[in-house]
A = this chain, B = another copy of it.
Amino acid sequence: MIKRIGKYTIKFLDEPLISSYSSVVGKLEGEGPLKEGFDKIIYDSHAMKNTFEEAESHFQQEAVSLALSKWGGKAEDADFIFAGDLLNQCMASSFGVKAFNIPFLGQYGACSTSAQSLIMAAAFIESKAAKVALAVTSSHFCSAERQFRFPLEYGGVRTPTAQRTVTGAGAFVLESAENPAKSVKSPLLCPKISMATVGKIVDLGVTDANNMGAAMAPAAADTLKTFFDDTGKSPTDYDMIFTGDLGKVGSKLLYELMNEKGYNIKENHKDCGLMIYDMNTQDVHAGGSGCGCGACTLSAHILPKLSTGEYQKVLYMATGALMSSTSSTQGATIPSVAHLVELKGAKG
């Protein structure tokens, strides 16, 4: 069952377990600081497929397969799969997960989809609609560049504020804490989802598709402030506050916006977009982005540290720039949204 806290926040009373998780990334991500944490690196950005879109579907399929096998179960044990990506009509998801034959609910929140799909899975478990629900999200540098900006062959010079779409997919197995699968030997060591705040769309008029950090930071500040207001919590209640992919520009703006609201989050904030690449040696401009950025960092870094008890309580907030490949060319603004989940560790 779920309890509403304050005006917008929801509390998962049974605290669904994230009992398995996986990440599959591309070459550049596999050379970055989180390389030890990824389950699989696919070095060929085409993944031996004909198109980048098919390759992205393959990443998603691999991530789900790995999450299921690490969990010790099969696709048929899952009641629902919540899947999303950045491509037109979420095609990486529909093509990526169709082979699993699991009831499918496509999600779209741009890069916020990684948190959104976790919230969906957790809500379905709390309502008893599902015992086991999967969540998976992906992005791919090559499919995203040509869709949202320029085809790679054009060789366009990227601006300093541009973020690099992460090539990768992260998948998560969520299940009821009451009666976890037998394969989960130590449910006590599984990270849990305890609260969530679903964001409202915020649009301050940014139109530059090469500066998504600026578009998303106000949405992130809005959701984070809402969560603190609703729960009475403050930044120091958490080992770390992770944002999905604000990058350099967006993170700095988030600090300023939160300062204005009376919160200093700088001391215990990390952005997945700045963690997944080495910002000194890897040429990624303002950092990483994409549905895969937060999902892979969550899987490779955050959840393992929650499992070992290194972190006891963290916030994970994924931010999404809701621009479209059509709206950008029409000069429209970039509406943004941020969804937040509170995660508890083994001792949380």
Contacts and interface: CB of A to CB of B under 8 A. Distances in A.
9 closest Cβ pairs, A-B complex: A127-B127, A89-B324, A103-B198, A91-B324, A94-B322, A98-B201, A106-B108, A2-B129, A88-B88
Interface in A168-222: 197-201, 203
A14 B148 CA distance: 43
A108 B110 contact: no
- Copy count, this protein chain: 2
Nearest to A92: B324
Contacts of A1: 1, 127-128
Contacts of A198: 80, 103-105
Given A91-B327, A108-B106, A324-B87, A98 B2 contact: no
A interface secondary structure, majority: mixed
Contact of A89 (B51, B79, B103, B108): B108
Given A128-B4, A129-B10, A326-B87, A335 B109 contact: no
Contact of A102 (B4, B105, B200): B200
Contacts of A10: 129
Interface stretch (A118-126, A270-278, A280-288, A309-317): A118-126
A159 interface: no
A228 interface: no
Interface string A155-168: 00000000000000
Contact of A103 (B8, B54, B120): B8
A89 B88 contact: yes
A249 interface: no
11 contacts: A1-B128, A4-B79, A53-B324, A53-B327, A91-B332, A95-B327, A98-B201, A102-B200, A103-B198, A104-B109, A106-B322
A97 interface: yes
A-side interface size class: 35 or more
B91 A53 contact: no
A53 B330 contact: yes
A142 interface: no
A282 to B, nearest CB: 27
Contacts of A79: 4, 8
B107 A106 contact: yes
B108 A107 contact: yes
B324 A98 contact: no
A103 B4 contact: no
A104 B222 CA distance: 13
Contacts of A127: 1-2, 123-124, 126-127, 129
A87 to B, nearest CB: 6
Contacts of A129: 2, 4, 10, 123, 126-127
